[in-house]
Amino acid sequence: MYYGTDQNNYEEMYREQMHQRENVLDLIKEAMKDERHDRIKYKNMMDMAKDEKVKKQIEFAYMDEGKHYKMFQQIYYMLTGKMIDIPAPKVEGYNKLIDAVETSINGELEAVELYRKIQSMLPNQKLRDMLFEIITDEQEHATRFVYVYSILTGK
Ligand SMILES: [Fe+2]
Ligand SMILES: [Fe+2]
């Protein structure tokens, strides 16, 4: 029946939207956890860095991750009306700075992937623009860590 089909489509669409909404909220929480993780990791790396030039590069990323955490918190609030905080996750230790730098390059590139996905699920331009800013920052961090890597290896 025509009406029945329409109704079913509507309900299906509604369920899909609700499902996506739950999903994007979970991904935002994951992003907030990752931002906290990276900020702690980069603080540790700054303490390990002997070269002032290296330290400065890591500090750029360290500062941005704090900003990103607050931006995701704001996005979550705009979607739900709820203000949430994510507890500080456990951060892996490193004996050598260069190893931490290497995993950071991969971490930043993985963040770009996750954030592109979140961006595509957001309901309006203002929120998508916020993700755009975060994504370009993470791309910049990846580039900075590649630079740091080259300084540390002397290449
Ligand atoms: Fe970040
Ligand atoms: Fe980053």
Q: What is the pLDDT of residues 101-123, one digit of tens each?
A: 999 999 999 999 999 999 999 99
Are the beta carbons of 52 and 40 closer than 8 angstroms?
no
The domains located in the chain, with CATH, are 24-153 (1.20.1260.10)
Distance CA 149, CA 70 (A): 28
- Residue 64 CA to ligand 1 center (angstroms) comes to 6
Are the beta carbons of 67 and 73 closer than 8 angstroms?
no
Residue 2 has pLDDT above 70, yes or no: no
> To 10 degrees, what angle do helices 2-48 and 52-80 make?
150
Amino acid at the residue 34: D
Q: Structure tokens of 77? A: 């609030």
155 versus 29: which is more confidently predicted?
29
Mean pLDDT, all residues of the chain: 94
- Residue 65 CA to ligand 1 center (angstroms) comes to 4
- Residue 79 CA to ligand 2 center (angstroms) comes to 23
